[in-house]
Chain A
Amino acid sequence: MSTTNTPSASPSPQKPPSLLARILDSDILASFLRSKVTIVAAIVVLILFIGAAFAPFIAPTDPFDPATVFLADASIPPVWQDGGDPRFIIGTDDQGRDLYSAILYGLRVSLIVGGLGVLLAATIGITLGLLAGYFGGRVDAVIMRIADVQLTFPAILIALLIDGVVRGIFKSATREDTALYVLVISIGLSFWVQYARTIRGSTLIERNKDYVHAARLVGLPAPLIMLRHVLPNVIGPVLVILTINLALAVITEATLSFLGVGLPPTQPSLGTLINIGNRYLFSGDWWIVTFPGVTLAVLVLAVNLLGDWLRDALNPRLR
Chain B
Amino acid sequence: MLAFILRRLFQSLLVMLAVALIAFTMFRFVGDPVNQLVSLDTPQAQVAEIRRSLGLDDPVLVQFFRYLYNAARLEFGVSYQFRLPVISLLGERAPATLELAFMSALFSLLVGIPMGVYTALRRDSALAKLFQAVSLIGISLPTFLIGILLIYLFSVTLGWLPSFGRGEVVKLGSWWTTGLLTASGWKALILPSITLGLFQMTLIMRLVRAEMLEVLRTDYIKFARARGLKTRAVHFGHALKNTLVPVITIAGLQLGSIIAFAIITETVFQWPGMGLLFLKAVQQIDIPIMAAYLILISFLFVSINLIVDLLYAAVDPRLRATVGAH
Contact = CB atoms under 8 A, between A and B. Distances in A.
Interface of A: 149, 152-154, 156-157, 160-161, 163-165, 167-169, 171, 247, 251, 254-255, 258-261, 274, 278, 281-282, 284, 286, 289, 293, 296-297, 300-301, 304
B89 interface: no
B142 A251 contact: yes
Interface centre among B145, B148, B149, B287 (most CB of A within 10 A): B145
Given A152-B302, A161-B294, A168 B285 contact: yes
A160 B282 contact: yes
Nearest to B149: A293
Given A164-B281, A164-B285, A301-B137, A286 B301 contact: no
Contacts of B63: none
Nearest to A169: B30
A146 to B, nearest CB: 8
8 contacts: A161-B294, A168-B285, A255-B143, A259-B263, A293-B145, A297-B141, A300-B141, A301-B136
Nearest to A171: B285
Contacts of B143: 255
B244 interface: no
Interface centre among A156, A164, A251, A304 (most CB of B within 10 A): A164
Contact of A274 (B145, B156, B267): B145
Interface centre among A163, A169, A259 (most CB of B within 10 A): A259
Given A149-B15, A154-B257, A274 B140 contact: no
Contact of B305 (A152, A161, A281): A152
A284 B156 CA distance: 8
A278 B148 contact: yes
B152 interface: yes
Contact of B290 (A156, A164, A281): A164
B215 interface: no
Contact of A259 (B163, B256, B264): B264
Nearest to B143: A255
The 5 closest A-B pairs by CB, nearest first: A164-B282, A168-B30, A301-B140, A157-B260, A168-B285
Contacts of A260: 279, 283
Nearest to B289: A164
Given A152-B305, A153-B260, A278-B148, A296 B142 contact: yes
B26 interface: yes
Given A153-B260, A259-B267, A300 B285 contact: no
B144 interface: yes
A300 B142 contact: yes
Contact of B26 (A149, A165, A304): A165
A304 B139 CA distance: 10
Interface string B257-280: 100110110011000000000110
A169 B301 CA distance: 27
A281 B144 CA distance: 14
Given A154-B257, A304-B140, A149 B18 contact: yes
B34 interface: no
Interface in B134-166: 136-137, 139-145, 148-149, 151-152, 156, 163
Contacts of B279: 160, 259-261
